[in-house]
Amino acid sequence: MSTSHIEEETVTYTIDSGVAWVKFNRPEKRNAMSPALNRRMLEVLDALEFHPEVGVLVLSGEGSAWTAGMDLQQYFRDTEAHGLAGTRQAQRESYGWWRRLRWYEKPTIAMVNGWCFGGGYGPLFACDLAFAAEEAKFGLSEINWGILPGGGASKVAVELLSFRRAMYHAMTGEPIDGATAAEWGLVNEALPLAQLQARVAEVAALLLEKNPIALKATKDALRRVREMTYDNAEDYLVRAQEAANSRDDSGRHEGLRQFLDEKRYKPGLGAYDR
């Protein structure tokens, strides 16, 4: 299916030194996620997932927002005008790319430059790591317009926050700033907006040094074992490592060789030379 020029512009990206910098690009609408943006984002993720020049994907927003959540006009009001079929299609399109991002082949980083509301918690959680501007504002604002935090947002809140904080956050709809989001565990770190991109580039560079197959196995493992018993997790991890070995059996041997035989590096302090 062809994509219109306007739809195409809802997401932009550039590739630089192994990093795909992807941006929500509806700054005039605070990067609210419209059906067009959701469709386009899936196409962009498709294009980048196995791109040979991409080792890490960073998701940020153009202008003052990361994303102001679902587009209340186009995602809710307009699609509801088409009945349940319209609603379900819009949900498939948004949940679809968030799910895709949760299990993405490459490591992913949310670079939250500004507003992040409601539905924005889907892609926020989907990214493996998250860094925010101290100036950013996060909120489960659903309650402020009369709905519950759906589309996974309630699940994200209880996954990432303490139960009491999640309840307060969801029931009051009160926004918190980036520093509080870091303190609460919604993001890894918060720093002044002016320093945000440099810090994310530094973390991306660190990830680029690692074995990519081990990284994919690691990020999947951490998401999977959250819902397992200890014994099931132990078993899953043995099998996941063996599956990773079948894709790359030389990496770990090389890592051991450089440490044990060549005494060239210390695994406790950094990655082996790939």
Task: Report the interface residues with ligand ACO, using CB under 6 A.
Answer: 29-30, 32, 64, 68-73, 115, 117-119, 141-142, 151
Q: 172 or 232, CB closer to ligand ACO?
A: 172
Shortest distance, position 163 Cβ to ligand ACO, whole Å: 21
DSSP lists the bridge partners of residue 130 as 110
Q: 30 or 165, CB closer to ligand ACO?
A: 30
CB of 143 closer than 8 Å to CB of 172: yes
CB of 141 closer than 8 Å to CB of 69: yes
Shortest distance, position 75 Cβ to ligand ACO, whole Å: 7
Shortest distance, position 173 Cβ to ligand ACO, whole Å: 8
Q: What are the start-end ranges of the E strands in 17-121?
A: 19-24, 56-61, 65-67, 108-112, 115-117
DSSP lists the bridge partners of residue 13 as 22
Q: Which of 11, 104, 118 is nearest to 51 (CA)?
A: 104
Rounded Cα distance, 134 and 163, in Å: 23
Q: 30 or 106, CB closer to ligand ACO?
A: 30
Shortest distance, position 88 Cβ to ligand ACO, whole Å: 16
Three-state secondary-structure class, residue 250:
coil
Shortest distance, position 34 Cβ to ligand ACO, whole Å: 8
Q: 29 or 106, CB closer to ligand ACO?
A: 29
Q: 93 or 142, CB closer to ligand ACO?
A: 142
Amino acid type, 53: E
CB of 209 closer than 8 Å to CB of 265: no
Shortest distance, position 130 Cβ to ligand ACO, whole Å: 17
Q: 118 or 251, CB closer to ligand ACO?
A: 118
CB of 122 closer than 8 Å to CB of 156: yes
